[in-house]
């Protein structure tokens, strides 16, 4: 099922849209350099419908792209899991057939099947134990981050403003509500 996006501008026929656009662009030398100013309800409505339309399109495209990324990544993961052992066996066979001096096979599509030494590393098995050890022995391994939501909740509950903080009150922001 295809989503259909309709804005107020789309509700007009071609002649009405042409007249509206001519009126909107008739003052090219005025406000903002392009001549358009949302100085009437109709102009403001048209402008905000354009903004809302483009924001909705951006969100729709982002969602569609995320679905496609997940779909393709899932397919690649499945193929890799299903066939990586067979590809490894093929690569070993091809390397042996070529004399075994190189550690890679270049395929006709430009993809290389290769073997390389993996650097030594550490896998953390018990994070609490490592944190306790690092606190005493390697403090530079620790990261500190600040969760702002509990601080805001504490301020709202108690009225106390922690050192290094500033209360933000009576602010007015402008936004376009679609």
**Within-domain flag for 165:** no
**Within-domain flag for 177:** no
Biggest CA-to-CA distance, the chain = 80
**Within-domain flag for 1:** no
**Within-domain flag for 61:** yes
**Within-domain flag for 100:** yes
Give the count of domains, the chain: 1
**Within-domain flag for 169:** no
Contacts of 102 (CB under 8 A, 6+ apart): 95
Q: Does the pLDDT of residue 118 top 60, yes or no? A: yes
Q: Distance between CA atoms of 77 and 86, rounded to whole angstroms?
A: 15
**Within-domain flag for 168:** no
- pLDDT tens for residues 25-59? 664 444 455 678 899 999 999 999 999 999 999 99
- pLDDT tens for residues 84-107? 999 999 999 999 999 988 889 999
For residue 89, the enclosing domain spans: 9-158
Q: Distance between CA atoms of 50 and 163, rounded to whole angstroms?
A: 45
């Amino acid at each position: 099922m295809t989503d259909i996006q309709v804005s107020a501008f789309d509700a007009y026929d071609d002649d009405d849209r042409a007249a509206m656009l001519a009126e909107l662009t008739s003052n090219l030398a005025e406000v903002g350099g392009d001549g358009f100013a949302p100085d009437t309800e109709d102009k403001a409505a048209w402008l905000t419908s354009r903004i809302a339309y483009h924001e909705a399109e951006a969100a729709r495209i982002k969602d569609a792209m995320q679905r496609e990324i997940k779909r393709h990544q899932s397919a690649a993961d499945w193929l890799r899991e299903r066939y990586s052992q067979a590809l490894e066996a093929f690569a070993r066979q091809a390397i042996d057939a070529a004399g075994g001096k190189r550690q890679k096979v270049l395929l006709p599509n430009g993809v290389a099947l290769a073997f390389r030494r993996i650097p030594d590393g550490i896998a953390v098995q018990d994070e609490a134990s490592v944190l306790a050890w690092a606190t005493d022995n390697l403090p530079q391994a620790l990261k500190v981050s600040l969760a702002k939501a509990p601080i805001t909740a504490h301020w709202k509950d108690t009225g106390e403003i922690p050192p290094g903080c500033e209360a933000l009150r009576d602010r007015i922001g402008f936004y376009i509500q679609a």
